[in-house]
Amino acid sequence: MPEPDSPLDLKGKFLIAMPSMGDPRFETSVIYMCDHSEKGAMGLIVNKPLRQGSFRGLCEQLSIEYSSGREVPILFGGPVETSRGFVLHSSDFVSENSTQIVGTTLSLTSTRDVIESLAKGENPSHAGLFMGYSGWGAGQIEAEILRNGWLTVDADEALVLDSNHDGKWQAALDLLGINALLLSSDAGHA
């Protein structure tokens, strides 16, 4: 836990939506934080698969030859720039356009080359495609955490790209030893 005067660093952490979250876009969300600085924060919702579309269909739409038979999950990453895609993936795919998430074994790529590699059945070995992202301006996420909107915990990287999307919220709470049924939407103050 950071010292009282030190800045909160959320990179590589999960944000877990509290029941008091007033925004339905984030209800029961687990967000993997890709970046966080004094300028703001960026993360991807890892447990909200899109019910329409497929990786194969996306490849066809982008005129990318799809020969792998591989299905990559497509998820709602957040409400910002929802027509823009991001691939969060294992670091066995490296491109000049990839950014490794500091302190983790995951990377983020938002260019066509990673989709072409996945369509051919090549690396990365683990990946999720996210439409849009979750973003906050300077100090905004810190204020939401103080208002009891989010819990934070070190991310379990295996859980980030796990395909059991329905179970991720409780699995993230399990990292804190919390049963969802015991959560209150009211913040306690000493």
> Taking residues 91-118, what's their average pLDDT?
91
For residues 134-154, give the mean pLDDT.
Answer: 94
- Which one-letter DSSP state was computed for residue 157? H
Q: Which pLDDT value is given to residue 34?
A: 95
- The pairing of strands 127-137 and 74-76 is parallel
40-45 and 30-37 beta bridge pairing: antiparallel
Mean confidence (pLDDT) of the chain: 89
The per-residue DSSP string of 105-120 comes to: SEEEE-SHHHHHHHHT
Q: Would you place residue 104 in the very low, low, confident or very high pLDDT band (cuts 50, 70, 90)? A: confident
The SS3 assignment for 60 reads helix
Domain 13-87+130-182, CATH number (from 3.20.20.140, 3.60.70.12, 1.10.10.410, 3.40.1740.10): 3.40.1740.10
Going by their DSSP bridges, the two strands 74-76 and 40-45 should be labelled as unpaired
- In this prediction, residue 179 carries a pLDDT of 77
Residue 190 has pLDDT above 60, yes or no: no
- What pLDDT shows up at residue 1? 42
Collect all residues with Cβ–Cβ distance below 8 Å to 99 and sequence separation of at least 6.
34, 107, 108, 109
How far apart, in whole angstroms, are the C-alpha atoms of residue 33 and residue 101? 9
Q: Rounded to whole angstroms, what are the CA distances from 53 to 60, 73, 83, 100?
A: 11, 10, 13, 27
Per-residue model confidence (pLDDT) at position 21: 81
Q: Which pLDDT belongs to residue 136? A: 97
Average pLDDT of the segment spanning 44-65: 94
